[in-house]
Amino acid sequence: MIGLFDSGIGGLTVVRELLRQAPDASFVYLGDTARTPYGNKSKETIERYSLENAAFLLSHGATSIVIACNTASALAVDALRKAYPTVPIFEVITPAVEDALAATHGRVGVIATRATIGSGIYQAKLKEARSWKLEAGKGKQGLFIQAIACPLFVPLVEEGWLNDDETKRIARRYLSSLRQTHVDTLILGCTHYPLLAPIIQRFMGKQTMLVDSAASVIRRVLASGEIDRRGEQKYFLTDLSTRSTEIARTWLAREIVFALASVSA
Ligand code: DGL
């Protein structure tokens, strides 16, 4: 059974892809809504929360872990792999970088939480790949990379303000410089952001391709064979709110019943 976790409901964007690609997959989802957001916390805290989340999922039948959160993927993947060396652990950053490189003409933007941008992982992976791209003769000039932290997006999504004027104004403020530099490809480097994709796309314009790594991370999970198809699907949150249930219902187009999770070391 696949175990997925996020700091909140953002990881449901990955669950939606899982349900699209394998509707009968068994999985257990944990959204750490009691402690969200992760994106403005320290590496130590993000590691601790991620280890606790993984322990919860494993104790509820998970045999593999999908870190459905860029922040935890950026800062806690090593700690998770060290703690669980025999458990397949999938992160979302490498697939996002690969998808962006396949799409771009040379100008890539990344938006993510402060912790993810501060870790420099996207910038480093894109730069690594740039030399690969140059060697492969795919690019004549260097890759232009612009990374912007958008710390207010996660609370706005958790609050369900997906199409509000305030959200549009904040998006304009965060994204203006990316529009000015004409990035042709924009990585949504946080699993919450696909919920804001209509606003982001409208502001950036049709010529900017948005990259959401959910589809490619799920393709990797399915290709690994780490899946059982008994259709057992469980959803947990560390704090229950009707808003989360409403957003999940709209996003997944089905009735979701969340159980309360008690997560600790
Ligand atoms: N969905 C998480 C991510 O992908 C959000 C992190 C947060 O809670 O700030 O980064």
pLDDT tens column, 163-199? 999 999 999 999 999 999 999 999 999 999 999 999 9
| Residue nearest to ligand 1 atom 8, measured at CA | 37
**Residue 246 Cα to chain centre, angstroms:** 20
* pLDDT (mean) for 19-33: 96
Atom of ligand 1 nearest to the CA of 116: 10
> What's at 25, amino acid-wise?
A
Q: State if residue 244 touches ligand 1 by the CB under 6 angstroms criterion.
A: no
Architecture in CATH of 2-91+216-260? 3-Layer(aba) Sandwich (3.40)
Distance CA 161, CA 42 (A): 26
User: Can you read off the two tokens belonging to residue 245?
Assistant: 């249930």
Asked whether residue 129 carries a pLDDT value surpassing 90, the answer given is no
Q: State if residue 185 touches ligand 1 by the CB under 6 angstroms criterion.
A: no
SS3 (DSSP) at 168:
helix
Distance CA 17, CA 219 (A): 9
Q: Give residue 140's pLDDT.
A: 46
Q: State if residue 68 touches ligand 1 by the CB under 6 angstroms criterion.
A: no
Are 114 and 40 spatial neighbours (Cβ–Cβ below 8 Å)? yes
Instruction: Tell me, in angstroms, the distance from the centre of ligand 1 to residue 237's CA.
Output: 15
Instruction: Tell me, in angstroms, the distance from the centre of ligand 1 to residue 71's CA.
Output: 5
Asked whether residue 132 carries a pLDDT value surpassing 70, the answer given is no
Domain definitions of the chain by residue range: 2-91+216-260, 94-213
Asked whether residue 141 carries a pLDDT value surpassing 80, the answer given is no
In CATH, what class is 94-213? Answer: alpha beta
Same fold, 2-91+216-260 and 94-213: yes
Instruction: Tell me, in angstroms, the distance from the centre of ligand 1 to residue 36's CA.
Output: 8
Atom of ligand 1 nearest to the CA of 71: 10
The residues facing 110 across adjacent strands are 147, 187
pLDDT-based confidence at residue 70 (cuts at 50, 70, 90) = very high
* pLDDT (mean) for 145-165: 94
Q: What angle (nearest 5°) sits at the alpha carbon of residue 91, between those of residues 190 and 108?
A: 50
Q: State if residue 194 touches ligand 1 by the CB under 6 angstroms criterion.
A: no
Pocket mutation for ligand 1, best pick of 5, 7, 119, 188 (most atoms within 8 Å of C-beta): 7
Q: Give residue 240's pLDDT.
A: 94
Question: Which is more confidently placed, 68 or 160?
Answer: 68
pLDDT tens, 206-253? 999 999 989 889 999 999 887 899 999 999 999 998 889 999 999 999
Q: State if residue 36 touches ligand 1 by the CB under 6 angstroms criterion.
A: yes
Instruction: Tell me, in angstroms, the distance from the centre of ligand 1 to residue 150's CA.
Output: 11
Point out the residues that are catalytic: 69, 190
Q: State if residue 190 touches ligand 1 by the CB under 6 angstroms criterion.
A: yes
Distance CA 236, CA 33 (A): 10
Q: What is the pTM of this model?
A: 0.93
